[in-house]
Amino acid sequence: MAGPDRRFILHFDWTVFLLTLALAGLGLISVISASYAGPHKALDPLVMRQLIWIAAGMAAMLITVLVDYRAFQTYAYPIYIIVVLLLIMVLGMGHATGGSKRWINLGLFKLEPSELAKIAVVFVMVRYLREEPPKGGWRLRQMIIPFILLGIPAALVLKQPDLGTGLTLVMITITLIFVSGLNWRTMAVLAIAGMLAAPLSWHYLKPYQRQRLVTFLNPQADPLGSGYHIIQSEIAIGAGGPFGKGFLNGTQARLNFLPEQHTDFIFAVFAEEFGLAGSIILLTLYASLIARGAWIARHARERFGALLAVGITAIVFWQVAINIGMATGMLPVVGITLPLVSYGGSSLIAMMAAIGILISINTRRFLF
C-alpha cells in the first residue's frame, strides 16, 4: 500500500464516522417505531426507503471523504449558483406537499434543494471569509456581500415556504461571521438592527406561520388547532418517563395523535419509547459529534478548513437545537428535521455528505 494511502486510513476519523452511524441507526429505529402498524402488519415502505437513504448517504460520505476539501474553494460559487437555480426551479415546477412546494420530482427520488442550500451557503461564506480579517475585525461594509449571498437562497427558501430552513441558513451565517472575526462595534449594530427588523418580518410570514408563533406563547388557547402539534409532542415526551414505554410500545405515534411523526416530531416518538435515559443518550451522541466538529475546526491546518468545519458543525448544532426546542415546546413550530434521525432522502444524504467533508478536513491535516 502506498504511503499516502496508508496514512489516510491510519488517520481516518473513526470517531465522527461511528457517531454518524450510531445516530443513523437510532434514526432507523425511530422510523420503524413511527411507522409501526402492529405485530401482524408488514414493515412500512418508509423503513425500506430509509435504509436506502442511509446506504446512499454512506456512499455520499465516502465520496466527500475522498475529495480534498480544499477543492471546494474553487467550486464554492459554481455549487452555490447551481443550488440557487434549483431553488428557482422548485418555485416554478416543484412538487407540493402539505401546502409547501419544496421538492423537484425526479421519478424515483424527490430532490429537496433547500437541504443542499445549507451546504452551499457554508461553501460561499467560507470562501469569502477565508482571508484573515483586517485589524479590529470585519466591519459593516465588508458584510454586504455575505448578506447578499445569504439573502438570495434564504428568500427563495422562505418563498416555498420553509421557515425552519430559512432560520437555519441565517443562524449558520451568523455563526460563521462571528467566528471569522467580526468587529465588536459591527456586532452591536447588527444585533440592534436584527431586533428592530424582527417585528417587520411579521408582515412577510404566512398566516399559519404567524399563528404558530402566537400559539407558542399559549398552546392551550387552540388545543385542537394551531396548538395541537406542541401539545401532542409534549404529551409523548412526558409519557416516556425515566426509561420509556419500550420499543414499539409508544401510543402517541401508534394512535396517530402525533403529527409529522416521521420527520419534524420524531424526537417525541423516540422520547416516548426510550424515555429520559434514551433521550440523554441521543443528546450525548449529538453533543459528541458537535464537540468533535469544534475540535476539528480548532486543529485544522489552515483557515479555510477551520471555517468549513465550523460551518458544517453549525448545520448540525442549529438543526438539533431548533428541532428539539420545537418538539419540547421551547421554540415555535417552524418545521425542520432532526439530523440523521428524521426520515428523508435529501436531508440524510446531504447531512452525511457534509459530515464526510468534516472527516476529510481532519484526516488531511496529516497528509500535507
The structural domains of the chain, with segments of one domain joined by +, span 18-364
The whole-number pLDDT of residue 204 equals 67
Q: Which three three-digit cell numbers place residue 240?
A: 416516556
The whole-number pLDDT of residue 260 equals 80
pLDDT < 50 regions, the chain: 1-3
The whole-number pLDDT of residue 221 equals 66
For residue 235, give the nearest of 275, 264, 283, 272 by alpha carbon.
272
Environment class of residue 143 by beta-carbon count within 10 Å: exposed (0-12), middle (13-18) or buried (19+)? buried
Residue range 310-325, pLDDT digits in tens: 999 999 999 999 999 9
For residue 156, give the nearest of 112, 216, 97, 215 by alpha carbon.
112
Distance linking the first and last C-alpha atoms of the chain: 18
The whole-number pLDDT of residue 271 equals 95
For residue 77, give the nearest of 145, 171, 143 by alpha carbon.
145
pTM: 0.92
* DSSP category for residue 205: S
The whole-number pLDDT of residue 342 equals 94
For residue 84, give the nearest of 10, 185, 163, 152 by alpha carbon.
152
